[in-house]
C-alpha cells in the first residue's frame, strides 16, 4: 500500500508550529486515527546526546510538546521516552541530565512525571528478521498502546541520513547499541539490524522535526544547523525517509538501509506527497558520502577508483586534541574498544577501527572530526 507523506511549512517553533502540526495530522486523518481515549502513548524523539536544541541535534522539545498536547486533547496518556547514544550510560541520573540539557525539563516543567526514567528493558524475539533473531527494547515503549516516532531531520556519517527508521534504533537501551556496530561491521548488515528494530517496534505514526535540520557531518556536534522550515508526517517511517531523499536530491540506492528495504521487499519505495513541498537545494551531506554515479570525472572516480584505495583514503575519526576534555564518552561508545586516553587526549588505534563513527557521533565537544588519514 502506498502511504501518504504530508509536508507542511513551519518557520519556527512558536507561532507557526501549532498550525503546521494541525495540518499534517489533518492530512493523515486526524490524531484520532492513531490515538483513542485512554491509550498510553509513547513519544519517541531523538535525544542522541546532551545538546542544546539550537544545535539541531535533538528533536526540539517544543516540537515534542506540541505533539504531547495533541495526544492529551485526544484523551491519550502521553509520555516521552528515548535511550541516548551509545556513549551515555542508560541510568536515571543520565536521563535526568539528558532532559535538562536538551531543554525538555523546562518545556515539560508542568508534566515532569511524563519524562520517562524507567530503564527496564525486554528481550523481544524477531520472526523472519533480516539479521536479528532477538533484541532488547525499552520496556515502557513496548508496553505502550501507541508509539509516535519523532525523528529529527539530519545527516549521518554512516547511513548518510538519520531519519524515521534510524530514530527507532534509540529503542535499544543505552550502550547495547555498540554491540550491533561490532557485530555488523558492514553498513548493509547494520542496516538490516536497523530495519529489524524498526519492524519490531512498529511506530503507529511518525512526525519529523525539519524546522531546523542538521547537514554536513551529522548526526551530532560536527554537523551544521540549517533552516529547512518544514515538518513531515506519515504512518510509515520508510515512506518518510524515501520522501526526505527526494527533497534533498538523493536516490534511495544511495542510502544503505533504504536499498536493503527495497532489495528485501520490505518496501516498494512508493509514496504520495501532499502539502507544501519545498525546494531544498545544496543540502550538505557528510564527507563519508562519495556521490552518485554519473559520467562526470568526479563521480567516476568515486565509483571506480575510490573503492580500490578506500582502506587508505576513507574518512576516519581524528581526535582534535585542543578540544578533547578527556571525558571518556568516546571510550565507552567504541564497539571495538580501541580508544584509550593518554595524558592529553583520546587516542585511536586505526589498525582496528571499523569506521562506525560512534566516537564522532557521541563526542559532546565535537572533538572528533573525520579526516582522510593515510596510514
How much is the pLDDT for 292?
A: 57
**Which pLDDT does position 299 carry in this prediction?**
43
Residue 227 · residue 211 · CB < 8 Å: yes
pLDDT of 373 reads 61
Contacts by 250-257 with C-beta closer than 8 Å and gap 24+? 250/160, 250/161, 250/285, 250/292, 251/292, 254/160, 254/289, 254/292, 255/159, 255/160, 255/161, 256/159, 256/160, 256/187, 256/188, 256/190, 256/191, 257/159, 257/165, 257/166, 257/191, 257/194, 257/195
Residues 6+ apart with CB under 8 A from 206: 148, 149, 150, 151, 164, 232, 233, 234, 235, 236, 237, 240
Residue-level pLDDT at 295: 45
**Fold type of domain 3-275:** Rossmann fold (3.40.50)
**From 157-171, 198-212, 279-293, 296-310, the region with the lowest mean pLDDT:** 296-310
Q: What's the pLDDT tens digit per position in 345-367?
A: 999 999 899 989 999 989 989 99
**Given pLDDT bands bounded at 50, 70 and 90, which one contains residue 110?**
very high
Confidence of residue 221 (pLDDT cuts 50, 70, 90): very high
Task: Work out the widest C-alpha separation in the chain, in whole angstroms.
Answer: 60
Query: What average pLDDT does the segment 191-216 reach?
Result: 97
Ordered alpha helix ranges (H), 53-91: 61-73
**Is the pLDDT score of 248 beyond 50?**
yes
Provide the CATH number for the domain formed by 297-372 in this structure: 3.30.70.20
pLDDT in tens, 149-187: 999 999 999 999 999 999 999 999 988 999 999 999 999
Q: For residue range 83-99, what is the model confidence (pLDDT) as tens digits?
A: 998 888 899 999 999 99
Listed in sequence order, the residues at least 6 apart from 207 whose beta carbon sits closer than 8 Å to its beta carbon are 21, 24, 63, 67, 148, 149, 150, 231, 232, 233
295-318 average pLDDT score? 57
Q: Which H or E run includes 207?
A: strand 205-216
Which pTM was predicted? 0.92
Q: Is the pLDDT of residue 305 over 60?
A: no
pLDDT surpassing 50 at residue 228: yes
Half-sphere exposure of 63 (CA within 13 A, CB side): 34
Integer Cα distance of 3 and 239 in angstroms: 7
Do the beta carbons of residue 82 and residue 119 sit within 8 Å? no
CB within 8 Å of 294: residues ≥ 6 apart: none
In the chain, where the domains are located: 3-275, 297-372
pLDDT reading at 103 higher than 50: yes
Burial label, 253 (beta-carbon count in 10 A; 0-12, 13-18, 19+) = middle
Residue 293 has pLDDT above 50, yes or no: no
Nearest to 181 by CA among 310, 374, 360: 360
Cα–Cα distance measured from residue 24 to residue 12, given in angstroms and rounded to the nearest whole number: 16
Average pLDDT over residues 123-128: 96
Query: How far apart are the C-alpha atoms of 240 and 155, rounded to whole Å?
Result: 15
Q: pLDDT tier at 298 (50, 70, 90 boundaries)?
A: very low
Backbone phi, psi, residue 12, to 5°: -155, 180
Q: Pick the more confident residue, 103 or 179.
A: 103
Q: What is the pLDDT of residue 370?
A: 85
Question: DSSP class of residue 347?
Answer: E
146 - beta bridge partners? 41
Cβ-based burial of 42 (10 A; exposed 0-12, middle 13-18, buried ≥19): buried
Q: Can you read off the three cell numbers belonging to residue 271? A: 509514496
CA separation (Å) from 67 to 35, 102, 206, 236, 351? 12, 17, 11, 17, 46
Residue bearing the bigger pLDDT, 242 or 287: 242
Q: Quick check: 294 pLDDT over 60? A: no
Amino acid at each position: 500500500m502506498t502511504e501518504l507523506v504530508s509536508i507542511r511549512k513551519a518557520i519556527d517553533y512558536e507561532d507557526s508550529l501549532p498550525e503546521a502540526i494541525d495540518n499534517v495530522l489533518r492530512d493523515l486523518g486526524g490524531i484520532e486515527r492513531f490515538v483513542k481515549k485512554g491509550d498510553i502513548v509513547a513519544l519517541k524523539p531523538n535525544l542522541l546526546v546532551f545538546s542544546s536544541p539550537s544545535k539541531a541535534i535533538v528533536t526540539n522539545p517544543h516540537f515534542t510538546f506540541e505533539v504531547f498536547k495533541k495526544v492529551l486533547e485526544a484523551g491519550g496518556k502521553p509520555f516521552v521516552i528515548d535511550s541516548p547514544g551509545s556513549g551515555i550510560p542508560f541510568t536515571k541520573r543520565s536521563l535526568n541530565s539528558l532532559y535538562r540539557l536538551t531543554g525538555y525539563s523546562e518545556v515539560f516543567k508542568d508534566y515532569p512525571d511524563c519524562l520517562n526514567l524507567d530503564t527496564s528493558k525486554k528481550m523481544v524475539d524477531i520472526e523472519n528478521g533480516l539479521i536479528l533473531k532477538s533484541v532488547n527494547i525499552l520496556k515502557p515503549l513496548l508496553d505502550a498502546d501507541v508509539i509516535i516516532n519523532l525523528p529529527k531531520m539530519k545527516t549521518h556519517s554512516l547511513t548518510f541520513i538519520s531519519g524515521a527508521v534510524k530514530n527507532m534504533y534509540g529503542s535499544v537501551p543505552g550502550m547495547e547499541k555498540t554491540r550491533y556496530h561490532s557485530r555488523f561491521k558492514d553498513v548493509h548488515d547494520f542496516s538490516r539490524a536497523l530495519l529489524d528494530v524498526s519492524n519490531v517496534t512498529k511506530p503507529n505514526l511518525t512526525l519529523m522535526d525539519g524546522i531546523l535540520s542538521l547537514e554536513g557531518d551529522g548526526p551530532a556536534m560536527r554537523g551544521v544547523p540549517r533552516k529547512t522550515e518544514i515538518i513531515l508526517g506519515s504512518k510509515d517511517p520508510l515512506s518518510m525517509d524515501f520522501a526526505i531523499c527526494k527533497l534533498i536530491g538523493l536516490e534511495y540506492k544511495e542510502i544503505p538501509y533504504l536499498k536493503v528495504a527495497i532489495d528485501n521487499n520490505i518496501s516498494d519505495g512508493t509514496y504520495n506527497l501532499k502539502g507544501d513541498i519545498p525546494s531544498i537545494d545544496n543540502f550538505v551531506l557528510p564527507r563519508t558520502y562519495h556521490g552518485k554515479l554519473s559520467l562526470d570525472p568526479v563521480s567516476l572516480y568515486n565509483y571506480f577508483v575510490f573503492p580500490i584505495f578506500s582502506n587508505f583514503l576513507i574518512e576516519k575519526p581524528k581526535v582534535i586534541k585542543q578540544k578533547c576534555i578527556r571525558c571518556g564518552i568516546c571510550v565507552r561508545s567504541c564497539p571495538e574498544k580501541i580508544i584509550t586516553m593518554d595524558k592529553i587526549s583520546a587516542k585511536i588505534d586505526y589498525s582496528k577501527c571499523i569506521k562506525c563513527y560512534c566516537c564522532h557521533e557521541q563526542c559532546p565537544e565535537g572533538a572528533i572530526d573525520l579526516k582522510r588519514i593515510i596510514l
